[in-house]
Structure 1
């Protein structure tokens, strides 16, 4: 017995009822300023067939300045977190403490394939300087106030993994 005509008939009968579905309801809209200016200039560099992306580039000046007012350079109290599946990320800024921290932790950050977020940087030239400090680590400029609030972080530089903030 062929089931396709029965399936087609069921689909045709269901179509009129699908248009009677109620409109979507907005559960929450917290407003705030659009983050689009920080992301519109992020353009991944092209990759060859089978090649890994080497670096995510920032083109143009629309992403700057990047400011994370809730975060300041300083010592971070390490603690355990539970964030399964989180790719290791680190937060740094354009300051001497971040420069020193990057030089001390660069190899470990490379081993765990951590991605860096430069959270306080004035312009593209300063971002290029921070990128030189990081050598071949992947970096993107972006504010981190919301992340800091969610994880109760007040200082940087900091490494955030699936199991710890350190």
Structure 2
């Protein structure tokens, strides 16, 4: 008897899931289509194609107002798990430092942040000097505040910073 009651209950629940939805309220409103026109490709074949600017090109010039080339005093840090990172600009001192430190930076698999660079062309020239190291254009102001740093080039590891 209990099996029959449970079967009937399950059958009635399964039938209820196929019932039509009931609209509680439809207040109308305005279409959202105009909001998406800016990102929808035009249907007209005669329209001019949109010029796409690569994201990296859109960031230039990169200027970090809190950082400038200069001497860095080495000091210990405790940053467990920190991936080696180096900061530089496209100035002559940074280029010279990069040439001197390239083997060390490669052995650490360090990533470079280029915190002052005028253009994509200047970044590309710096990348040629880097010989395969990853160099990313980025503002260094937040990092400068957090690490109480005002000069570069500098190598930052989990145990300290040095030039």
Pairwise TM-score range, normalised by the shorter structure: 0.5 to 0.7
- TM normalised by structure 2 equals 0.65
Aligned pair 1:66/2:62, yes or no? Answer: yes
Q: How many residues align?
A: 109
- TM normalised by structure 1 equals 0.64
Q: Matched residue of 2:58: which SS?
A: coil
Unaligned runs of 5+ in 1: 1-39, 42-57
Question: For 1:157 and 1:77, how far apart are their aligned partners in 2?
Answer: 11
Aligned-residue RMSD, C-alpha: 1.0
Tell me the equivalent position of 2:95.
99
Q: Matched residue of 1:106: which SS?
A: helix
1:94 deviates by: 0.7
Q: Matched residue of 2:78: which SS?
A: coil
Question: For 1:78 and 1:106, how far apart are their aligned partners in 2?
Answer: 18
Q: Matched residue of 1:104: which SS?
A: helix
Correspondence list, 1:54-133, <5 A: 58=56, 61-133=57-129
Q: Deviations over 1:131-163 (max 9, x none)?
A: 111111011000010100000111000000000
In terms of fraction of residues, the more helix-rich structure is 2
Unaligned runs of 5+ in 2: 1-53
